Amino acid sequence: MASRHDPRGARALRLGVGTALCLAIGFGFDLPIPMVAPVLGVFLLASMNRPMPLKSGLALVLVVVFTTATGLLLSPLLRYYPMGGVLLTGLCLFLAFRWGLRGGNGLASLFLIIGLTIISAAGTIDFRLAATAVEALAKGLLVAVAVLGCCHWLFPEPANAPAPPTAPVLPVAQASRMALRATLVVLPAFLLALTDPLGYMPIILKSVSLGRQSCVTAAHGAARELLGSTLLGGLLAVAFWCALSLFVSLWMFFLWMLLFGLLAARKLYRLSSTRHPPSFWLNTLVTLVILLGQSVQDSVAGKDVYTAFAVRMGLFIAVTLYACLMLQLFEPRRRAPHPPALSEPA
């Protein structure tokens, strides 16, 4: 149990309650692409241990609208010059990842990457579809920022809690290598989404999450962490769906998400013993939210939920295995020590 001076308890409560609130608001108010709000809420709540002032929150939303709208500039190029558009998109993704690794704003980097992939892919099909995606991201972020402030009011950070450590600024060579690796993780999902942007949006969000995770995961534990968190997220999504089917309502949706979110948050903040790093549990929670949100939308649309879930889970596993391969290929090789030089005979 955490003491009253230990900030981990309040942080776990904020993450669990905040994720459930974002989910309930997104689906309760029927926001466009409602699963976007809880996904952004997870990223925001897990990365910020201080409340965001109102001006900063509105400024962040404006930055998101601007950065995501940049994807619209790539849409005509992708439509009429596909090869050049894909190469330019890959270059922009590389620069966005490297900027975040070199000390840039991590949230702005994340939203720029989402805009470059989801918005540009949607714009190749229909401009109104891209505008709907921009609206979904902006409204989802507004919900996430409001929930962040509400959760900090409900569960404030202890007064003597240490400030979160600043992310280290990586050297240029290391940041470039990691950015290239993360870009190669995201690009296949982006190419797949060019055929059906809304249908493959969960794959893009998953690949972006894997790309970010690949920047903090060592290659020797890649399969265990990336694939393990993906499979655990899918298993939790199945358990969640079975529990929700017993009594379907928005309140039960909120309460079950609260329970599963708190279970993952306890592991993420190490309130209960675990062998896995926080990135494992963050990826598990993101996978759970994406799979669950899309399954609910499939059910509303009258689709076969179980077949769609099986196909989506198979794609998630394929994307994760590909991310593990990229981690292995781009892991720097350790040079073998040179044997000591033999002394010349006298």
pLDDT in tens, 57-91: 788 778 777 777 777 888 888 988 999 999 999 99
Across 136-160, average pLDDT: 89
3-state helix vs strand vs coil in the chain, percent to 5: 75, 0, 25
Which of 298, 301, 318, 297 has its CA nearest to residue 37?
A: 297
Rounded Cα gap, residues 116 and 72, in angstroms: 8
Q: What is the predicted pLDDT for the residue at 173?
A: 87
Rounded Cα gap, residues 102 and 170, in angstroms: 6
Q: What is the predicted pLDDT for the residue at 342?
A: 41
Average pLDDT value for the chain = 85
Across 143-167, average pLDDT: 82
Provide, rounded to the nearest whole percent, the portion of the chain with pLDDT above 70: 90
Structure tokens at 255: 């309460």
Rounded Cα gap, residues 305 and 83, in angstroms: 35
**Residue 197 or residue 43, greater confidence:** 43
Across 167-178, average pLDDT: 82
Which of 51, 186, 173, 180 has its CA nearest to residue 114?
A: 186
The length of the chain in residues reads 346
pLDDT of 93 strictly over 70: yes
Half-sphere exposure of 301 (CA within 13 A, CB side): 12
**Residue 194 or residue 106, greater confidence:** 194
Structure tokens at 96: 């966005």
Q: What is the predicted pLDDT for the residue at 14?
A: 96
Q: What is the pLDDT of residues 14-41, one digit of tens each?
A: 999 999 999 999 999 999 889 999 999 9
Ranking 87-96, 214-223, 236-245 by mean pLDDT, the lowest is 214-223
pTM of this structure:
0.88
- Identify the DSSP state of 344: P
Rounded Cα gap, residues 184 and 337, in angstroms: 31
Extents of the domains making up the chain? 8-159+172-329
C-beta of residue 43 within 8 angstroms of C-beta of residue 60: no
Q: What is the predicted pLDDT for the residue at 345?
A: 44
DSSP 179-197: HHHHHHHHHHHHHHHTT-T
**Contacts (Cβ under 8 Å, ≥6 apart) of 182:** 93, 97, 211, 212, 214, 215
**Contacts (Cβ under 8 Å, ≥6 apart) of 86:** 78, 187, 190, 191
Which of 300, 288, 299 has its CA nearest to residue 257?
A: 288
- Identify the DSSP state of 220: G
Structure tokens at 71: 């994807």
Q: What is the pLDDT of residues 42-65, one digit of tens each?
A: 999 998 888 787 787 788 778 777
**Contacts (Cβ under 8 Å, ≥6 apart) of 224:** none
Q: What is the pLDDT of residues 99-109, one digit of tens each?
A: 988 888 777 88
Number of H helices, E strands in the chain: 14, 0
Q: What is the predicted pLDDT for the residue at 28?
A: 93
